[in-house]
Structure 1
Amino acid sequence: MNYTLHQLMIFQKITETKSITKAAEELHLTQPAVSIQLKNLQDQFDIPLTEIVGRKLVVTDFGWEIASAIEKIIEEVQGINYKTAAFKGLMSGKLKISVVSTGKYVMPYFLSSFLQEHPEVDLKLDVTNKAKVLESLSANEVDFALVSILPEQMQVDGVKLMPNQLFLVGNRDFIFKNNEYDEGFLEELTLIYREEGSGTRLSMEKYLSSKNVSIRKKIELTSNEAVKQAVLAGMGCSIMPLIGIKDEIKSGELKIIPMEGFPLNTQWNLIYLRGRKFSPVAKMYLNYLIEHKDELIRKHFAWNL
């Protein structure tokens, strides 16, 4: 066996993207170069790593086994790099954070300057829904999780960051007939929901339940971006975090509908398992965040204060 680390890394990216084209794009290589490296790796095994079904590349069961082994190999190589950097006096390692989907508008601003100060630190940032974020945190797969609603069944500590405000919004064609609407108005709307497991959806449902509102027509979509595009297109209205729609509100593409009891308010928190033993990088980032969070909020989120 004479496969190279380069071939293994390319195959790992192929399994992640399930596409030679996408793997090539993410690795900044040409598609033929990726195909050649995949062939060279495949030539060293008697069992197929991938198959073409229709026009789609499919990783075989054996291919997934190899991919799992490759992940461990690459982690060991990264460990060597981190130790080398440490001997040079540089702080290095991997920082792993899971973020609820709306948090993609928040978390980068609390990471950028830290990563600039510590270029040897690698970041793994997973953006998904609340249920999967908490699953990753519970399984101890990540150092931190960014959520807007604290979990009730998990022992966590964390750092409070900033408010998360949710408003009822419609598109530019929404005509205001009242200066302010009561909760009964929601029953007249087609309301666009996030999927089950979303923190935004949970906030919506808690509000609707507390007001005994029964929604007659609803649409369910699986991302904040999809919800925003649906509202922009006039498919209905939705309760959305301001942080993800502020540009559209400013341009007039979306309108905040004045509702009694709004905005709904939650709190962005970066949380971690209580009693977790941090890596040096995670501990350094936690200290950095505690020290600099107020400065970063004033710099990047003054409009939200």
Structure 2
Amino acid sequence: MNYTLNQLQIFVKVAQTKSITKASEELNLTQPAVSIQIKNFQSQFELPLIEIVGKKVYLTDFGKEIALSAEEIIEQVYAINNKMKAFKGQLFGRLKISVVSTGKYVIPYFLTDFLKENQGVELSMEVSNKEKVFENLKKNEVDFSLVSLPIEGHNYEYLELLSNELYLVGKPEILDQNPKKNAKLLASNLPMIYRELGSGTRKIMESYLQHQEIHVEKKIELMSNEAVKQAVLAGLGYSIMPIIGIKNELQNGSLVIIPQMGLPITTQWTLVWNHGKKHSAVAKAYLQFVLENKNQIIKKYFT
């Protein structure tokens, strides 16, 4: 056996994502590079590790065992590196955060200075929809989650970061900005572009439309906030979107806010963690950093 740590890390990522494409994106590698490393890793075993059906990767029973062992080896390597850093008096370890997709416009500003000040801290961040983020939190797989909608129950602790405002937006040349125009008429002219089921933004949209008694006949469903934005920019339809992700487009005039009764909808970007969670030294330090610097970060980047 002559496999490398790099091959182990790539195999674990493929096992986690069940996709060569997704693994390459998360590892910032090309798909051919990932495929080659997986092929080289596989060549060292007589039994198959994976099966590829279509574009989806399935682990064999043997592959599942190897993936578990590989994760343990990687954790041990991290532990060795962290012990060295501890002797040098540095804060070390991994900060694990799950973020709803539109939260990617928020969380980097609350991480940058902390990571610069603590070079021994590694960041593991998963960006997904609200359902997946809640699943990560429920399984205690992360230190913190960033959400824009409250999570039901009393098993969580919260730290509010800043407000999240959602508006109806579209292209200026195809959407009437008259504030008296009825949203029901808009809904009959162009498709409403939705996020996928499980998205917090979609939940907000559906709640608003139901409350305003607006029936949407034409719908388009897309899997990310960025995809929705590009579809609106292309003139495919309009959508209710968090303003934080479209600031540049509003400033340059490629998108406009369409005034509507009941909008904007305001929620809160909130850092959430399990009640009574025993935070690692890194997680404790990060929480303290956010408490101490939240107002300065908001003032600098979000006012």
Q: Normalising by structure 2, what TM-score? A: 0.88
- Per the TM alignment, residue 100 of structure 1 is displaced from its structure 2 partner at its CA by 0.3
Return closer, same or farther for 1:42/1:253 CA change in 2, 3 Å cut-off.
same
* Structure 1 residue matching 2:174: 3-state secondary structure: coil
Counterpart of 2:117 in structure 1 is: 117
In structure 2, give the amino acid aligned to 1:141.
E
Unaligned runs of 5+ in 1: none
- What is the alpha-carbon distance in structure 2 between the residues aligned to residue 24 and residue 177 of structure 1? 39
Query: Which residue does the alignment assign to 2:83?
Result: 83
Q: 1:20 to 1:41 in 2, by over 3 A?
A: farther
1:39-188 residue pairs with structure 2 within 5 A?
41-50=41-50, 58=57, 60-61=59-60, 62-153=62-153, 155-176=155-176, 178-188=178-188
C-alpha displacement at 1:173, in angstroms? 1.8
Distance 1:22-1:74 versus aligned 2 partners, 3 A rule: closer
1:211 alignment counterpart: 212
The amino acid of 2:140's aligned partner reads N
Q: Which residue of 1 aligns with 2:238?
A: 237
Alignment of 1:257 with 2:239, yes or no, is: no
Shift of 1:42: 3.3
Verify the 8 A CA contact 2:163 2:266 in the aligned structure 1: yes
With over 3 angstroms needed to count, the CA separation of the structure-2 counterparts of 1:178 and 1:291, relative to structure 1, is same
Deviation at 1:220, TM superposition (A): 1.3
Q: Partner amino acid for 1:164?
A: N
- Identify if the C-alpha distance between structure 1 residues 111 and 26 changes in structure 2 by more than 3 Å, giving closer, same or farther: same
Q: From the superposition, tell whether residues 253 and 12 of structure 1 become closer, same or farther in structure 2 (CA, over 3 Å).
A: same
Can you give the 5+ residue segments of structure 2 that lack an aligned partner in the other structure? none
The question of whether the paired residues in 2 share the 8 Å contact of 1:24 and 1:31 is answered with no
Task: Kindly indicate whether the alpha-carbon contact (under 8 Å) linking 1:96 and 1:125 is maintained by their aligned counterparts in 2.
Answer: yes
Alignment CA distance shift 1:207-1:215 (3 Å): same
1:49 CA displacement: 2.7
Which has the larger displacement, 17-26 or 68-77? 17-26
Relative to structure 1, the CA distance from residue 141 to residue 215 in structure 2 (aligned partners, 3 Å threshold; closer, same or farther) is same
Aligned residues: 300
What are the Cα deviations for residues 196-243 of structure 1, in whole angstroms up to 9, with x where unaligned?
111111111111222222222221111111111111111111100001
Task: Give identity over the alignment, percent.
Answer: 51
In the alignment, is the contact (CA less than 8 A) between 2:12 and 2:70 conserved in 1? yes
Closer, same or farther in 2 for the Cα pair 1:73/1:206, shift >3 Å?
A: same
**Partners of 2:264 and 2:80 in 1: CA distance:** 50
1:128 Cα deviation after fit: 0.2
TM-score using structure 1 length: 0.88
Moved more, 126-135 or 256-265: 256-265
- Cα offsets for 1:6-28 (capped at 9, x unmatched): 44234335545844997599476
Call closer, same or farther: CA 1:150–1:51 in 2, change over 3 Å. closer
Are the counterparts in 1 of residues 10 and 34 from structure 2 also a CA contact under 8 Å?
Answer: no
Any idea what SS the aligned residue of 1:90 has? coil
Q: Cα distance, 1:68 vs. partner?
A: 2.5
Q: Is the 8 A contact 1:208 1:214 kept in 2?
A: yes
Secondary structure in structure 1 of the residue aligned to 2:76: helix
Q: Which amino acid aligns with 1:290?
A: L
Q: Give the C-alpha shift of residue 53 in structure 1.
A: 6.4
Shift of 1:3: 3.5
Provide the residue aligned with 1:197 in structure 2. 198
SS at 1:169's partner residue? strand
Stretch deviating more after TM superposition (168-177 or 122-131)? 168-177
